[in-house]
């Protein structure tokens, strides 16, 4: 379990990124932080692996304050997908994926074999393994970043907009793949995105953030869709958008779901 | 032209290619003092430059130091050290080390601090220790620039090492000074040609090393442009310093 206890972060320049943020992320669950740009999402993730130190409050993992943990050991025990890939440009894809296992003294041969398997897991061809990051597309780089985060089989995954650079179709595939991986492996995942649909699709729980990491609403996707807490949340999740306003029409004896534009989008199973 | 032919004739004379004062010995001496000076300067300047580049602290020091050091006339320095340490090799060596330090310092600092901060931060974020970040990420990515600094220092030293002969019987500079004394201009020109040839050979070697470092470490897209399976597929196990 990850606990944020009234965590605040003010950067040296005086920028307030997060103010008094409290949240519990239960083990084996996926919690999605969703909020607009600059709302402090990345900063919240970085305070879990000590890439940023809170200026107030505490972050606990299984009851232990991370401030008391050795930062290097802590980071190796957490899978972290960086917002912009963050691959090492001078190492091949396979070696990038194998980074943490090799740091943890797994023999390089074995680490590479595992890396090749992970490459497949994130939907990339094994032949990409010998390329360098600059020889991949942005979306492919992000997937390598996901594979790298999984490589040491960590209990906790921090994912910072991991699919931000992939096209909508591949994005859906990757979301499905992540859901599959999660069903298999049961990691504790904190997932950051500014895509509401992605949040609703992946989160066991969704946390909608305003500026300064202030929680506007938290709940299951259904709870948030059913009862947006206020206009901000309603706006943010697009509750009034045509494609969210579904009605049912009875046509030829079947119940057809129709969105706000009148376009039929599916059939209700009886 | 006449003088040039005489110099070539001097170079072609087998008598000048043997014995204690022969060309091979002088070249070896010249290379030895160059290697020693660059080696000592590197031992001082590489760690300092890398550390300053890594911490991004003390950059002003680099500018001031290399600026000041470049303004010092080497001949004056040599005289000064000659007076301090007495006539001999030691004074020349110290002067050449002082000459070599600024380029190596500037190259290693500039190379390290030019490494993308996001890459360094990512390396830390996945759990690399500071030393692993330096040797596994920053230094490999900076190596073309770091080698560039050593290359500049080596060229300065190999050219200036002729001055070692000013206070010691050592290196190719001997041909210049003794030629000057006896008005044997052919010998002087021959010595100068030898120094130039040596400098050129070193320059070519360093250029090759730099290219190799760039192709192996810095974003390969820059050097290769395209994925070359023939090269990357057969790459042997990477001998990264973090293993
Ligand atoms: N290293 C830093 N130094 C100073 N200010 C920072 C730093 N990192 C982030 N900030 C500021 O803190 C605030 C929150 O930034 P953060 O990166 O956490 O936002 P985010 O929600 O991840 O945004 P995005 O969706 O654009 O990635 C912003 O105002 C940002 O400018
Ligand atoms: Mg962010």
Tokens, residue B33 = 């003092």
pLDDT bracket for residue A162 (50, 70, 90): very high
Q: Give the pairing of strands A64-65 and A264-267.
A: unpaired
- A128 plus A68 within the same structural domain: no
Taking CB atoms and an 8 Å limit, are B127 and A100 in contact across chains? yes
| Ligand 1 probe mutation, A14, A15, A50, most atoms within 8 A of CB | A15
- A72 plus A189 within the same structural domain: yes
- A164 plus A231 within the same structural domain: yes
pLDDT at B202 over 60: yes
- A117 plus A228 within the same structural domain: no
| Highest mean pLDDT pick, A25-34, A244-253, A258-267 | A25-34
N- to C-terminal Cα distance for chain B? 59
Q: Say how many Å lie between the CA of residue A178 and the centre of ligand 2.
A: 20
* C-alpha to C-alpha distances, A71 to A48, A58, B138, nearest whole angstrom: 10, 15, 20
- A124 plus A16 within the same structural domain: no
Taking CB atoms and an 8 Å limit, are A92 and B235 in contact across chains? yes
Whether A196 maps to a domain, the answer reads yes
A105 by Cβ neighbours in 10 Å (0-12 / 13-18 / 19+) ranks as: exposed
| Highest mean pLDDT pick, A83-87, A210-214, B58-62 | A210-214
Question: Would you say A100 and A42 are in contact if contact means Cβ atoms under 8 Å apart?
Answer: no
Question: Would you say B102 and B65 are in contact if contact means Cβ atoms under 8 Å apart?
Answer: yes
pLDDT attached to residue A223: 95
Q: Say how many Å lie between the CA of residue B109 and the centre of ligand 1.
A: 29
- A192 plus A257 within the same structural domain: no
Q: Which residue has the tokens 């320059």?
A: B203
Q: Say how many Å lie between the CA of residue A37 and the centre of ligand 2.
A: 7
Domain end, chosen from A154, A178, A198, is at: A154
Question: Would you say A35 and A221 are in contact if contact means Cβ atoms under 8 Å apart?
Answer: no
Q: Which domains does chain B have, with CATH numbers?
A: 23-220 (1.10.3720.10)
* C-alpha to C-alpha distances, A228 to A195, A218, A238, A239, B218, nearest whole angstrom: 16, 10, 10, 8, 50
CA dihedral A186, A192, A197, A203 (to 10 degrees): 30
pLDDT tens-digit readout, A186-195:
999 999 998 9
Percent of chain A with pLDDT over 90: 79
pLDDT attached to residue B222: 41
Whether A208 maps to a domain, the answer reads yes
Helix (H) or strand (E) holding A95, with range, is helix A93-97
pLDDT attached to residue B146: 95
Beta bridge partner(s), residue A248: A257
pLDDT attached to residue B217: 56
Query: Number of A:B CB contacts under 8 A?
Result: 84
Whether A82 maps to a domain, the answer reads no
Q: Which residue has the tokens 């061809």?
A: A125
Residues contacting ligand 1 via CB (< 6 Å): A 11, 13, 15, 17, 35, 37-43, 83, 194
Calculate Rg over the CA atoms of chain B: 22
- A133 plus A194 within the same structural domain: no
- A164 plus A221 within the same structural domain: yes
Overall pTM > 0.95: no
**Cα–Cα nearest to A159, from A213, A84, A220, A222:** A84
Query: Mean per-residue pLDDT for A69-76?
Result: 96
- A45 plus A2 within the same structural domain: yes
pLDDT tens-digit readout, B213-240:
888 654 444 433 333 333 333 333 333 3
Taking CB atoms and an 8 Å limit, are A132 and B232 in contact across chains? yes
Mean model confidence pLDDT for chain B: 85
- A61 plus A181 within the same structural domain: yes
Pick the atom of ligand 1 nearest to A194's CA.
25
Q: Domain limits at A39? A: 1-77+155-239
pLDDT at B84 over 70: yes
- The ipTM of this complex is 0.87
Query: Mean per-residue pLDDT for A25-51?
Result: 96
Q: Give the pairing of strands A78-81 and A156-160.
A: parallel
Side by side, which strands form the sheet with A64-65? A16-25, A2-10, A56-61, A64-65
Instruction: For chain B, say whether A113 makes contact (Cβ under 8 Å).
Output: no
Whether A83 maps to a domain, the answer reads no
Whether A266 maps to a domain, the answer reads yes
- Which residues lie below 8 Å from residue A192, measured CB to CB, with a gap of 6+? A32, A33, A34, A41, A42, A44, A45, A83, A158, A159, A160, A161
- A107 plus A131 within the same structural domain: yes
pLDDT attached to residue B193: 94
Tokens, residue B44 = 């001082």
pLDDT attached to residue B1: 60
Number of separate domains in chain A: 3
Question: How close, in Å, is residue A231 to chain B by CA atoms?
Answer: 37
pLDDT attached to residue A166: 83
Nearest residue of chain A to residue B217 (CA atoms): A90
Query: Mean per-residue pLDDT for B185-200?
Result: 93
pLDDT tens-digit readout, B136-175:
999 999 999 999 999 999 999 999 999 888 888 889 998 9
Whether A71 maps to a domain, the answer reads yes
pLDDT tens-digit readout, A193-233:
989 999 999 999 999 999 999 999 999 999 999 999 999 99
Q: Say how many Å lie between the CA of residue A35 and the centre of ligand 2.
A: 10
Whether A84 maps to a domain, the answer reads no
DSSP state string for chain B:
-HHHHHHHHHHH-GGGGSSTTSHHHHHHHHHHHHHHHHHHHHHHHHHHHHHHHHHT--HHHHHHHHHHHHHS-HHHHHHHHHHHH-SSHHHHHHHHHHHHHHHHHHHHHHHHHTS-HHHHHHHHHTT--HHHHIIIIIHHHHHHHHHHHHHHHHHHHHHHGGGHHHHSS-STHHHHHHHHHTT-HHHHHHHHHHHHHHHHHHHHHHHHHHHHHHHHTS-HHHHH-S--HHHHHTPPPP--TT-
pLDDT attached to residue B239: 38
pLDDT attached to residue A44: 97
Whether A15 maps to a domain, the answer reads yes
What is the C-alpha to C-alpha distance for residues B46 and B48, in angstroms, rounded to an integer?
5
- A137 plus A148 within the same structural domain: yes
Domain end, chosen from A137, A154, A171, is at: A154
pLDDT attached to residue B231: 35
Q: Where are the beta strands (DSSP E) in A82-226?
A: 156-160, 188-193, 205-209, 215-219
Residues of A within 8 A of B132 (CB-CB) are 103
Taking CB atoms and an 8 Å limit, are A75 and B127 in contact across chains? yes
């Amino acid at each position: 379990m990850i606990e944020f206890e009234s965590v605040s972060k003010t950067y040296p320049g005086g920028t307030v990124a997060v103010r008094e943020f409290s949240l519990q992320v239960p083990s084996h669950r996926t919690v999605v932080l969703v909020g607009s740009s600059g709302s402090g999402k990345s900063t919240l993730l970085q305070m879990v692996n000590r890439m940023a130190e809170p200026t107030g409050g505490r972050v606990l993992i299984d009851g232990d304050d991370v401030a008391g943990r050795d930062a290097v050991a802590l980071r190796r025990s957490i899978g972290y997908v960086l917002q912009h890939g963050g691959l090492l440009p001078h190492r091949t894809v396979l070696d990038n994926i194998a980074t943490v296992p090799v740091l943890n003294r797994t023999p390089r041969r074995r680490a590479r074999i595992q890396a090749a398997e992970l490459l497949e897991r994130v939907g990339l061809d094994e032949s990409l393994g010998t390329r360098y990051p600059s020889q991949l597309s942005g979306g492919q780089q992000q997937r390598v970043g996901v594979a790298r985060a999984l490589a040491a089989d960590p209990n906790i995954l921090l994912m910072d907009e991991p699919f931000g650079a992939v096209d909508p179709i591949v994005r859906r595939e990757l979301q499905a793949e992540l859901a599959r991986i999660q069903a298999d492996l049961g990691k504790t995942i904190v997932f950051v995105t500014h895509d509401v649909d992605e949040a609703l699709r992946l989160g066991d729980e969704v946390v909608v953030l305003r500026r300064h990491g202030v929680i506007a609403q938290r709940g299951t996707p259904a709870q948030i869709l059913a009862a947006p807490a206020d206009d901000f949340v309603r706006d943010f999740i697009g509750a009034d958008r045509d494609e969210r306003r579904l009605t049912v029409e009875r046509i030829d004896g079947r119940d057809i779901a129709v969105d706000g534009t009148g376009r039929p989008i599916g059939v209700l199973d009886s | 032209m006449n003088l040039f032919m005489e110099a070539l004739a001097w170079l072609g004379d087998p008598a000048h290619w043997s014995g204690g004062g022969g060309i091979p010995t002088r070249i070896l001496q010249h290379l030895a003092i160059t290697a020693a000076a660059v080696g000592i300067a590197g031992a001082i300047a590489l760690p300092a430059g890398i550390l300053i580049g890594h911490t991004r602290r003390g950059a002003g020091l680099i500018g001031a130091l290399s600026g000041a050091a470049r303004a010092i006339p080497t001949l004056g320095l040599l005289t000064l050290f000659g007076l301090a340490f007495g006539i001999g090799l030691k004074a020349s060596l110290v002067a050449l080390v002082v000459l070599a330090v600024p380029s190596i310092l500037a190259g290693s600092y500039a190379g390290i601090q030019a490494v993308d901060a996001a890459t360094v931060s990512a390396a830390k974020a996945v759990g690399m220790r500071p030393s692993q970040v330096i040797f596994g990420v920053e230094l490999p990515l900076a190596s073309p620039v770091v080698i560039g600094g050593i290359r500049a220092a080596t060229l300065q030293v190999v050219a200036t090492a002729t001055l070692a002969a000013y206070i010691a019987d050592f290196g190719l500079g001997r041909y210049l000074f003794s030629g000057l004394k006896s008005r044997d201009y052919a010998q002087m020109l021959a010595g100068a040609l030898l120094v130039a040839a040596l400098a050129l050979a070193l320059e070519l070697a360093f250029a090759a090393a730099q290219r190799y470092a760039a192709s192996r470490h810095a974003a390969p897209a820059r050097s290769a442009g395209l994925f070359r399976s023939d090269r990357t597929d057969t790459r042997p196990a990477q001998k990264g310093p973090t293993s």
